[in-house]
Amino acid sequence: MENIEYPVRLNRYLYLKNYCSRRQADIFIEKGLVKINDKKAVLGQKVHETDVVEVDGQIKKQKENFVYFIFNKPLGVVTRNPQGDEKAIVDIWPKAKQLHPIGSLDKASHGLVLLTNDTRIVDRLLSPKYHHEKEYRVRVDKPINNYFAAKMSNGVNIEGYVTKKCDVEVTGEKAFKIVLTEGKKHQIRRMCAALGYQIRELKRVRIMNLHLGKQLPKGVGRELTVTEKMELLKTLGVM
């Protein structure tokens, strides 16, 4: 991810070198663990291109570049742990070989999957305590009534767990849009089943600021734009 314009603040330098987040860098600096040209660094200090930066006695070289992709997962493909003759993402899109899906999207669902090698963002993206939005378009087997929409919005008891309140918008006789901030296994399918509905199609179209859009073919990925990446990482608190 390195794209450094010198001089640069020390905490940003360590972030761009893929060593740690800017917040963690400030902690290292405050603890006296960071040196510039063999002198203890201070918060807010600038790094110049010829400077030698050390953290805890070691010169920090650039680690593996972090990359982030949106992938349009087709039906019938699993996001992790394929069994038998099941196809994984890497089987249909070889660029995913060194990447990991953040969160899952079951075999019978399709749409947006975020792929990356940046393990820093996993908990920050998936933990419900951060309230990050994931948006889905759903088609069910029979007409939607007012009770269904209200109940889906206010929480559904799925095997002893009541789901969090969420945004639900009816978009057709048998279709709706739902925005979740949690991700229980097969959550939307279980919510619908608890209310007497079966899902005919489930498509994820958004994760936070990342939109699937209409131009990305199924089975293909694209790298995040600079704007998408910066907004995502800033919201997740790793830059």
DSSP state of 225: P
pLDDT at position 239 is 67
* Element containing residue 166 per DSSP (H, E): none
pLDDT at position 129 is 84
Segments of the chain with pLDDT less than 50: 1, 61-63
What domains can you pick out in the chain, each with its CATH number?
8-64 (3.10.290.10), 66-119+216-239 (3.30.70.580), 133-207 (3.30.70.1560)
Determine whether 147 is exposed, middle or buried from the number of CB atoms within 10 Å of its CB (0-12, 13-18, 19+).
exposed
CA dihedral 217, 221, 222, 228 (to 10 degrees): 100
pLDDT at position 62 is 43
Hey, is 206 helix, strand or coil? strand
pLDDT at position 60 is 52
So which residues are the catalytic ones?
Answer: 106
pLDDT at position 1 is 46
Which is nearest to 180 in space by CA: 213, 147, 202?
Answer: 202
Strands 110-116 and 134-140 come out as unpaired
Q: What is the pTM of this model?
A: 0.74
